[in-house]
A and B are shown apart, each in its own frame.
Chain A
């Protein structure tokens, strides 16, 4: 184990896009994953933000190139630019807001129609800290969602409903809290594991269509000093 950690592992880049309604917590999930940080009342993303983070798996290193998009309607027309050639997508909804799941379903449908065929999609219900299952028992208590409202629980989307949908559409499914950090790295690790080895090989070719390969080399050189930090940031 120790040997394999020291030996240079094959490393590959994965383009990942976050989609979902405004104010569901996309940027907060990314901030938690990249910087292990959380900001109350974060201001809305404008346009899109591009961040990178490494994720170490036992056999390889995945470098996520994350497109964190703004959720407002007026930016929707730009989305294809971000999910084109993406190997993974995180479609986020807010557990306390049913309309956000409807929007999430639209995004899933659009991705299945327009994005690369092999794209790995994860459906993520965020803001678990606002529900009664904040302790992390979320997956078990979904059935009781109906009676939840009078107990001060802000949950409006049952685990079961979302999970059933995710299974139908063949999506990864998680409930997370960017605020507490619960399940956040698990989402990214699961995505990293779900991406087939073959698609990683071809990833370079796909990304190169934008003269990105040259930019890629540049970035690797420049980023040398910060890799150790990045490893700390990622708990996987």
Chain B
């Protein structure tokens, strides 16, 4: 049934893998919804609902193929399935069998069979706790909400049930923990506040000196740092470095980079690989400040050095990087950049103007609007690495240091992926928000929104080249405003990300990510209104968590998945990976797979058609 919509160029592989890994399950939604929700709780024999919800959960749980397989083996139609499958898991239902069979069809027995499922889900990882916890919570209200049709938006049903759940404190995640000096703050309160954070990042030296912690000042967390150092060094001493462990519902991931220990503690359900790449980015930020030889030199001479002094002033960069991960960054997840969508000819005109005005001192030139790349020029033999650009974009658009200062900036920085041994010098100038002027007038932070900020970034290996690059900027600004490019860029930045209602009218998909693997770039649909704006931080995090989960499933070692379709109780998601692209999308929980695939196909066709607008292919090369 869904096969038809899958059928295109890639369909041969994909459909076969679909057969194996994710069954063509069920329009299961229809079955439960046909039941009157009011009757569910007292129902005497409604195993159907239990069956389908179990299967749905199993499907929704993407982290291991195990869960997916278990549903593959079950016949989706059979009403008797729950009994056979609940007998299958073995140890679980042991205590469920004693009750006389007369009970068997009561809802009590149902809940037992549901519960018996939980242990079989657990081994697959942290995410199981998510599912297991939810199974018991299927109240009548939930069923009522559930039974609403396909226009249920993702995560729309979860607001009530999640009140006490894992994202409960997310709104306050970024609030500061008050100082010791603050009125009414005692250490116990501060500590419990600290513990309530869902995500922590810590950096310490191998000698145990604290370097950075996202939350809490050092007096508060010194003892925790000590414990962390003891644990890590214990395993390191045994020549068997500790990579990670789980405590309660928190996952600890440890990365050791030379003399530095990096620790991520997350209750947000990211995979180890994802957390590790986040720690890697923090390490890159430190290298970008110090360079590798300097960092090594510091610790070779004095292993007990307090690295906070040399890193002074960069805490805000580390924190804004950390917070972007906690908020959920598609760019970091996909390891790709986002570009501003422009017509090919328009981008060409900008590149040409850029190439014409460049000076000999220039290594890389970039124009960036609201964190999206507009144009890049580079020497033929050097390309720019996404992780380096991530650091630059973080410095310019996420942390306030540069924007707030106004004026032009001259910043020494190391781009570790380009060369971790030395500094480059970066000229940064934000364009005036006022369209009449292209002068160096500083952007008024409060008057222009994040999306509209256009920056010129010029990178040179010569630290004396500020005035040269300033001249390049002035000429370029003049050119761009003369040929109208600046206005075009501003308009494109203001338009924001594409909307699904425009790309694929009628497709019931709420959000998507599309990564072009060859270009290491991605595009996504607009986050607002559902996932962006005031009060939407939790919805956004749920979306990002879901992306992280399906991304982890697709990229799990030995999984070789090509298509993954997951249905959970509050959202459905689809991942599709080919050598050309990676595609992820999310829809409401009641969207059938066929409809979702159809929508996905439309979006992918759009992305292929618009490839030269969405992505910078090659860029200006000199």
Q: A residues touching B (Cβ–Cβ < 8 Å)? A: 22, 27, 31, 34-35, 39, 42-52, 66, 68, 70, 72-75, 78, 81, 210-212, 214-215, 218-219, 222-223, 225-226, 229
> In chain B between 306 and 344, which residues have their CB closer than 8 angstroms to a CB of chain A?
309-310, 312-314, 316-317
A210, B467: Cβ atoms closer than 8 Å: yes
A72, B478: Cβ atoms closer than 8 Å: no
Contact of B401 among A35, A46, A215 (CB under 8 A): A46
Cα–Cα distance between A31 and B442 once the two chains are bound (Å): 11
Chain B residues, CB < 8 A from A218: 471, 474-475, 478
Cα–Cα distance between A218 and B476 once the two chains are bound (Å): 11
Chain A residues, CB < 8 A from B407: 34, 49-52, 66, 68
B406, A70: Cβ atoms closer than 8 Å: no
Cα–Cα distance between A81 and B440 once the two chains are bound (Å): 21
A225, B436: Cβ atoms closer than 8 Å: yes
A226, B439: Cβ atoms closer than 8 Å: yes
* B 437-449 binary contact with A (CB < 8 Å = 1; else 0): 1111110000000
B346 CB, nearest partner CB in chain A, Å: 23
B409, A48: Cβ atoms closer than 8 Å: yes
Chain B residues, CB < 8 A from A70: 313
A103 CB, nearest partner CB in chain B, Å: 13
A219, B402: Cβ atoms closer than 8 Å: no
B236 CB, nearest partner CB in chain A, Å: 29
Contact of A50 among B410, B426, B464 (CB under 8 A): B410
Contact of A223 among B290, B316, B439 (CB under 8 A): B439
A31, B310: Cβ atoms closer than 8 Å: no
A157 CB, nearest partner CB in chain B, Å: 22
Contact of B312 among A72, A212, A214 (CB under 8 A): A72
A215, B467: Cβ atoms closer than 8 Å: yes
Contact of A222 among B400, B467, B477 (CB under 8 A): B477
Whose C-beta in chain B lies nearest to the C-beta of A223?
B439
B471, A49: Cβ atoms closer than 8 Å: no
Question: Contacts A72-B313, A73-B309, A219-B440 given: A46-B409 contact, CB under 8 Å?
Answer: yes
The count of chain B contact residues (Cβ–Cβ below 8 Å) is 43
* Main SS at interface, chain B: mixed
A108 CB, nearest partner CB in chain B, Å: 22
* B 443-484 binary contact with A (CB < 8 Å = 1; else 0): 000000000000000000001101110110011011000000
B312, A73: Cβ atoms closer than 8 Å: yes
Cα–Cα distance between A226 and B433 once the two chains are bound (Å): 13
Question: Contacts A49-B408, A75-B412, A215-B470 given: A222-B309 contact, CB under 8 Å?
Answer: no
B400, A43: Cβ atoms closer than 8 Å: yes
Chain B residues, CB < 8 A from A27: 405
Chain A residues, CB < 8 A from B314: 44, 46
In the complex, besides A46-B395, A75-B412, 15 extra interface pairs with C-beta distance below 8 angstroms are A22-B312, A31-B406, A34-B442, A45-B405, A49-B402, A49-B406, A50-B409, A51-B405, A51-B408, A210-B467, A215-B474, A218-B474, A218-B475, A219-B474, A226-B437
Asked whether any CB of chain A lies closer than 8 Å to the CB of B399, the reply is: yes
Contact of A214 among B412, B439, B471 (CB under 8 A): B471
Cα–Cα distance between A212 and B290 once the two chains are bound (Å): 30
B413 CB, nearest partner CB in chain A, Å: 8
A211, B412: Cβ atoms closer than 8 Å: no
Cα–Cα distance between A34 and B124 once the two chains are bound (Å): 59
Chain A residues, CB < 8 A from B317: 46
Whose C-beta in chain B lies nearest to the C-beta of A84?
B464
Asked whether any CB of chain A lies closer than 8 Å to the CB of B404, the reply is: yes
B478, A43: Cβ atoms closer than 8 Å: no
B310, A73: Cβ atoms closer than 8 Å: yes
Central interface residue in B405, B411, B436, B463, by most chain A CB within 10 Å: B405
Cα–Cα distance between A159 and B408 once the two chains are bound (Å): 34
Cα–Cα distance between A202 and B545 once the two chains are bound (Å): 62
Contact of B406 among A51, A78, A222 (CB under 8 A): A51
Chain A residues, CB < 8 A from B437: 222, 225-226
A46, B402: Cβ atoms closer than 8 Å: yes
> In chain B between 413 and 436, which residues have their CB closer than 8 angstroms to a CB of chain A?
413, 426, 436
Chain B residues, CB < 8 A from A75: 412
Chain A residues, CB < 8 A from B426: 47
B439, A225: Cβ atoms closer than 8 Å: yes
Can you name 7 A-B residue pairings with CB atoms under 8 Å? A31-B405, A34-B442, A44-B312, A47-B426, A51-B407, A72-B312, A73-B312
Cα–Cα distance between A212 and B314 once the two chains are bound (Å): 31
A16 CB, nearest partner CB in chain B, Å: 13
A189 CB, nearest partner CB in chain B, Å: 20
Whose C-beta in chain B lies nearest to the C-beta of A214?
B471
Cα–Cα distance between A225 and B316 once the two chains are bound (Å): 35
